[in-house]
Amino acid sequence: MDLNHLHLDVDRTIITAQPGQTVLEACLSAQLDLPYFCWHPALGAVGACRQCAVKLFNGPEDHTGQIVMACMTPATSGMRLSITDPATAQFRDRVIEFVLTNHPHDCPVCDVGGECHLQDMTALVKHTQRRYRFTKRTHLNQDLGPFIRHEMNRCIGCYRCVRFYRDYAGGDDFGVFGANRNIYFGRATPGTLESEFAGNLVEVCPTGVFVDKPFATRFRRKWDMRATPSICPHCAVGCNITVQEREGEFRRVVNRHNAALNGYFLCDRGRFGIDFIRSPARLRRSTQRDAQGPGTPVAIPAATAALAELLRTNNVIGIGSPRASLEANAALRLLVGPAHFYAGVSDHDADIIATAITILRDAAVPIATPADAAQSDAVLILGEDPSDIAPILALSLRQSAQRPTSEALAIRQIPAWNDSAARRSAFGSPTPLIIATPMSTRLDDCATTCHRIAPAALLTLAAAIKTQLEHPSPADPTAIAATLRRASAPVIVVGGDSALMRAAANIVTTLRRKGIAARLSILLPEANSLGLGLFGAPPLSAALAAIQTGTAPHVIVLENDLHRRCETGPLEGTFHRIASLSVLDCIETPTTATADLAIAVGSFADADGTTVNQEGRAQRSFKAIFSTDDAPPSWHVLRNAGIAAGRLDATAWATHRELIDAMAANIPDLAACRALWPHTHDNIMQRPATLPHRYSSRTAVNAAANVREPPPFTNPDSPLGPTMEGLMPRSGLMPHVWSPGWNSVQANLKFPSAAEPGVMLFPTSACIPTELPLPHPPPPAPGILALPIRRVFGSDELSNLAQAVASRVGGPILRVNPADAATHGLSAGTRVDCTIGTTTVRRAIALDPAMAAGVAGLTIGVQGEPGLPLPGSLTITAIHPGEPS
C-alpha cells in the first residue's frame, strides 16, 4: 500500500487522496460528481452553501451515518462515505431548490447560460421541480464600471465574490451588505470596481451576477465560440488565457488554469486589454509612400515585393520588439543578419533585460514562479511595485503575506483549507512581507514593514542585508536579514535597476549558501522582454548610432513604436537620414504613420508565436482568430520577402517548426523552444478540437454572403484542430471543457489540466548560484531623481487601445513627497511641466507622504508621449494658473 496516499471508501469504491486534501477535493480528483458552490480551489472552504453534503459513516458497523460537508471534512484513510445515500442526495437537491427560490431562472437571456456552474450543479443533482410558489425578492443592480455588469437577482449567496475580491485580492470597495435573504453583494455606492482583479468575479461567481461587459456587446454562447489556448501579451508574467472567437471576430478572454503562473485568475488588463485587437487603431491595411506621399493602400504581395526590394540593397537594419514573438524577431534577425539586428528598447530596459539574463543564465539563480511566491514564508520586495508591472505576481505575493505562519496554524490545529479560521490565525502572526521601495506600493496594506528609500540607499541596503546574512551582528537596524534567515523558502522580488537586481541575486545566493531555499523574482517590462534579450541585440540607441555613422540604411521596424522608446529629438534627428522606413505592425502608431511602407500584420491572436516570460519560461500561443481576410503573421511576410529577395531558398521555414529550428540553430539559449512543439497528428481527428461539438450554424454562418459551405480553416502550424472534430485532451492544450455537468469555467476544477507549463529555458539547478560583481554606483544626479511609474491601466501600449481599459486610465501624475512639493510650492493636483532630458511633459502632482525625499515618480506610457529617459534628473516648472493644462 502506498503510504503517501489515503484510501477512502466512497460508496464501496476505494479512491485515493493526497494527505491534506478534503473529502470534496478527494472526490473531485477521483472524478466523482459532487456538487459545490462556496468552495473554490484557490479560495479554500468555508462550508457556507451546504451543497457538498456527503454521508460519513463512523466505522463498518455504522449504518445510519451522519451528513457532513465534504469541503469541511479532512480526508483520512479508512474513511467510509456515501455520495449516493438517498437522504444526502435529497438534501443536495433541496439546497439547489433553496438557492433557486430567489433565482430568476432567466437562463435563456442570461450571459452564462450554457456555461453556468449553477446550471451544472442543478443538472448534477438531477433537480427538476421547484415548489416555491411565493414572490421572489428582487434587487437593484449597480453600475460597476466598464468591465463588469451587475445582475444581482441571479445571486445565490455563495459569498465567493466577496471572499475573492476582498479576502483574496485585497480589494476594499466591494462587500456584502444586509442580512438574511436580503444580502447584497456590491459596492457601498454604484461606481467602478477599483481592483484590477475585478474581472475575475465573472468566473468566480457560479452564476451570472457579474457579467463580462465588453463581451456582452458581442455575445455568443460558449458552445458557439472557437476557443484557443493563448498567452496574455500585456506583461512579462505571461498568464495563460483562452481566446474565444466566432465569425472571425474576437469575443472574449477567459482564464486558462496554469498552476505555476496565474492559477485561476487574470488581471483586468489581461482579460479586457486584449480587446485592442478590435480597436479602431488596428492597422487594417498596408500602405506605401508614393508620389502623393505616404498612406497609399497596397496589397500584401506588393508590400512583400517592396520589402524584398529593400532587402536586396544589403543595406538594411532591423529593429526588433519586446512585444513581438520570438518567431517574428528571429525571422527579422535571420533576414538582416545578426550584425544589423537591434532590440528596439531603451538603454535602461536593455540594461535590465541583460542583467536578468546574466542572473538567470550565467549565475543560475533560482527563479520564483508566482506559485512559489504565494507559498513563500517571507518576501522582500526591492525597488519596484509589482502591482502595476506584474499584477498576477503581486496577487500571489499578497497570498503569501495574508497566510498565517505554519506555526500559527499548527498551534490551533487548523488545516490551511479552512479559509476563515486560517485567516483569523494570521492575526498577530503574519507572514513577513518587507517592502523597500522609493515610493508607496499597492501591497503596503498587507506588508509587515515598509521602508521608503531612494534608489542609491536601496543599493546600500541590499548590500547590507547580504553582509548581515554572512556576518550577523546585533546592530541590524532593519532586521531584514534576520527575517530572511528564519524563513525556509523566502522570495526576493526586484526590479527597476540593474545594480539592485544583482545585489538582490547575491542575497539569494547568500541564503542558498546557508541552505535556505531562497528564490528571486525579476520584474521585466514587457511580454517578450526576456525573449528579445536572448537574441543579444544592441539597444535602439545603438541602431540610431549606426544610422548616424554609416550610409543611410533602409530600416525595418518590427511591431514596435519607436516613439515610445526614446525621445523625439534623437529619433527624428537620426531618422531623417535613413533611406526608407518600413514597419510591420498590427496597430497604427506614430511610427507606422511616418513609414514609407507600413505592412499590416496579424496580432498575437492571429498568429502562432512564442514568448519568454520573466522567469525564462517560453510559452506558445496559437492562432486564435480565423477570418477570410486575415492579416499574415510578421514572419510569413518576412519569409516571403526573404525568398523573393533571394536571401532564403524557396523552401525555407515552410512551417513554424522549421523557423523554430532555424532560430534554435542560431540562438542556443532558445534551443529548448523546440520542445514546445506539442505532439500533433496529421489526422485531424487526433487533434484537440477548437470548436465545441455543439457549435451551431457552422454551415450557415456565411449564408448571407454565400450559400456554399466554406472549407474549414486550416493552420498547419498548430497542433490544434480547426473544426469540431477531435479530442478533448487533459492538458493545457484543452481549448474548452464540454462534459455533462461540467460546462462552466469551474470545470477546470474537476478537470485540472496538467497545464501546458511551457519550457523553462534556464532550469533551476540545485547547485549554489554564482555571486555577481556589483557595478560602482553612478554619481548622484543633480536635482530630483525621476523614476518611472508603470500603471496597470495606462502604461501598456496595446491594452490602452481597448476601449474599456482606456476608460480606466487615470490622468498622468507626478508623485512627490509633501515636503519636496512644499519646497517647490506645489500641492496635490497642481499641474506642472516636467522636463527630463530634452523632453517636457505635463503632469498633475500627487502627494505620496511616504515617498523618499528627492525622488519623484512619473507615470509613463502615456498615449502620444515620447519615451522618457527614466530614471533621470527632473526639472519641475509649475504652470501659471492662467495657462491651459
Binding stretches for another protein (CB under 8 A): 37, 46-51, 53, 66-68, 72, 87, 90-91, 94-95, 98-99, 101-102, 131-134, 156-159, 166, 172-183, 187-189, 408, 411-414, 418, 420-421, 424-425, 427-428
Single out the residue of 798, 321, 317 nearest to residue 582, CA to CA: 317
Residue 207 to residue 746: CA distance in whole angstroms: 11
- CB nearer to ligand FES: pick between 47 and 741: 47
User: Angle 498-513/455-470 helices, nearest 10 degrees?
Assistant: 10
- CB nearer to ligand FES: pick between 26 and 659: 26
* Residue 209 near which of ligand FES, another protein, none (CB within 5-8 Å, type-dependent): none
For position 71 contacting ligand FES by CB under 6 A, the verdict is: yes
- Scanning 33-41, 473-481, 521-529, 542-550 for contacts with ligand FES by CB under 6 A, the matching segment is 33-41
Provide the strand spans (E) within 34-132: 53-57, 66-69, 80-82
Minimum Å gap between C-beta 836 and another protein is 35
Question: Among 15, 23, 25, 50, which residue sits at the site for ligand FES (rule: CB under 6 A)?
Answer: 50
Minimum Å gap between C-beta 195 and another protein is 11
Single out the residue of 269, 111, 112, 117 nearest to residue 197, CA to CA: 269
* Residue 853 near which of another protein, ligand FES, none (CB within 5-8 Å, type-dependent): none
Q: Which 772-801 residues touch ligand FES, going by CB under 6 A?
A: none
C-alpha cell at 783: 536635482
The DSSP secondary structure of 732-745, one letter per residue, reads: TT------TT--ST
Question: Among 27, 36, 142, 288, which residue sits at the site for ligand FES (rule: CB under 6 A)?
Answer: 36
Residue 131 CB partners (closer than 8 Å, separation 6+):
97
* Residue 508 near which of another protein, ligand FES, none (CB within 5-8 Å, type-dependent): none
Minimum Å gap between C-beta 187 and ligand FES is 25
Check: CB of residue 802 under 8 Å from CB of residue 275. Answer: yes
- Scanning 32-40, 104-112, 342-350, 544-552 for contacts with ligand FES by CB under 6 A, the matching segment is 32-40
- CB nearer to another protein: pick between 421 and 734: 421
Question: Among 17, 23, 32, 49, which residue sits at the site for ligand FES (rule: CB under 6 A)?
Answer: 49
The DSSP secondary structure of 394-423, one letter per residue, reads: HHHHHHHHHSBPHHHHHHHT--TTBHHHHH
Minimum Å gap between C-beta 681 and another protein is 46
Minimum Å gap between C-beta 122 and ligand FES is 15
For position 159 contacting ligand FES by CB under 6 A, the verdict is: no
Residue 399 to residue 825: CA distance in whole angstroms: 41
For position 631 contacting ligand FES by CB under 6 A, the verdict is: no
Residue 676 to residue 802: CA distance in whole angstroms: 30
Question: Among 28, 56, 69, 198, which residue sits at the site for ligand FES (rule: CB under 6 A)?
Answer: 69
For position 210 contacting ligand FES by CB under 6 A, the verdict is: no
- Scanning 48-56, 75-83, 245-253, 521-529 for contacts with ligand FES by CB under 6 A, the matching segment is 48-56
For position 74 contacting ligand FES by CB under 6 A, the verdict is: no
For position 110 contacting ligand FES by CB under 6 A, the verdict is: no
What does DSSP assign to residue 533? Answer: H
Check: CB of residue 265 under 8 Å from CB of residue 643. Answer: no
Residue 682 CB partners (closer than 8 Å, separation 6+):
none
Residue 659 to residue 662: CA distance in whole angstroms: 5
- The CA distances from residue 864 to 586, 731, 780, 827, in Å, are 17, 42, 31, 26
Give buried/exposed letters for 365-395 (b at 16+ CB in 10 A, else e). bbbbbbbbbbebbbbbbbbbbbbbbbbbbbb
Minimum Å gap between C-beta 166 and another protein is 8
For position 54 contacting ligand FES by CB under 6 A, the verdict is: no
Q: What are phi and psi of 420, to 5 degrees?
A: -65, -45
Q: Give the 3-state secondary structure percentages of the chain, helix then strand then coil, rounded to 5.
A: 30, 20, 50
Question: Among 51, 521, 529, 603, which residue sits at the site for ligand FES (rule: CB under 6 A)?
Answer: 51
Q: Is 529 helix (H, G, I), strand (E, B) or coil?
A: helix
> How distant is the alpha carbon of residue 337 from its chain centre?
33
Cross-sheet strand order for the sheet of 240-246: 226-231, 240-246, 249-255
- The CA distances from residue 684 to 205, 688, 690, 725, 750, in Å, are 36, 9, 11, 7, 27
For position 162 contacting ligand FES by CB under 6 A, the verdict is: no
Question: Among 11, 30, 42, 47, which residue sits at the site for ligand FES (rule: CB under 6 A)?
Answer: 47
CB atoms within 10 A of CB 692: 22
Minimum Å gap between C-beta 158 and ligand FES is 7
For position 6 contacting ligand FES by CB under 6 A, the verdict is: no
* Residue 291 near which of ligand FES, another protein, none (CB within 5-8 Å, type-dependent): none
Give buried/exposed letters for 55-72 (b at 16+ CB in 10 A, else e). bbbeeeeeeebeebbbbb
End-to-end CA distance of the chain: 75
Single out the residue of 525, 539, 602 nearest to residue 797, CA to CA: 525
* Residue 71 near which of another protein, ligand FES, none (CB within 5-8 Å, type-dependent): ligand FES
- Scanning 30-38, 525-533, 593-601, 673-681 for contacts with ligand FES by CB under 6 A, the matching segment is 30-38
Question: Among 17, 38, 254, 319, which residue sits at the site for ligand FES (rule: CB under 6 A)?
Answer: 38
* Residue 39 near which of another protein, ligand FES, none (CB within 5-8 Å, type-dependent): ligand FES
* Residue 187 near which of ligand FES, another protein, none (CB within 5-8 Å, type-dependent): another protein
Helix or strand (DSSP H, E) at 548: helix 540-549
* Residue 36 near which of ligand FES, another protein, none (CB within 5-8 Å, type-dependent): ligand FES
Question: Among 39, 164, 168, 215, which residue sits at the site for ligand FES (rule: CB under 6 A)?
Answer: 39
Residue nearest to ligand FES (CB): 71
If binding means CB under 6 A, how many residues of this protein chain bind ligand FES?
12
For position 22 contacting ligand FES by CB under 6 A, the verdict is: no
Q: Is 119 helix (H, G, I), strand (E, B) or coil?
A: helix
* Residue 132 near which of another protein, ligand FES, none (CB within 5-8 Å, type-dependent): another protein
- CB nearer to another protein: pick between 188 and 768: 188
- CB nearer to ligand FES: pick between 52 and 317: 52
Minimum Å gap between C-beta 151 and ligand FES is 22
Check: CB of residue 432 under 8 Å from CB of residue 379. Answer: yes
Instruction: Tell the residue number behind the cell numbers 476582498, with chain if given.
Output: 166
- CB nearer to another protein: pick between 95 and 874: 95
For position 417 contacting ligand FES by CB under 6 A, the verdict is: no
Minimum Å gap between C-beta 123 and ligand FES is 17
- Scanning 31-39, 148-156, 239-247, 829-837 for contacts with ligand FES by CB under 6 A, the matching segment is 31-39
- CB nearer to ligand FES: pick between 35 and 531: 35
Minimum Å gap between C-beta 754 and ligand FES is 24
* Residue 52 near which of ligand FES, another protein, none (CB within 5-8 Å, type-dependent): ligand FES
Minimum Å gap between C-beta 670 and another protein is 47
Residue 374 to residue 379: CA distance in whole angstroms: 10
| Residue type present at position 284 | R
Give buried/exposed letters for 332-343 (b at 16+ CB in 10 A, else e). bbbbbeeebbbb
- CB nearer to another protein: pick between 178 and 550: 178
Q: Which parts of this chain interact with ligand FES (CB under 6 A)?
A: 36-39, 47-52, 69, 71
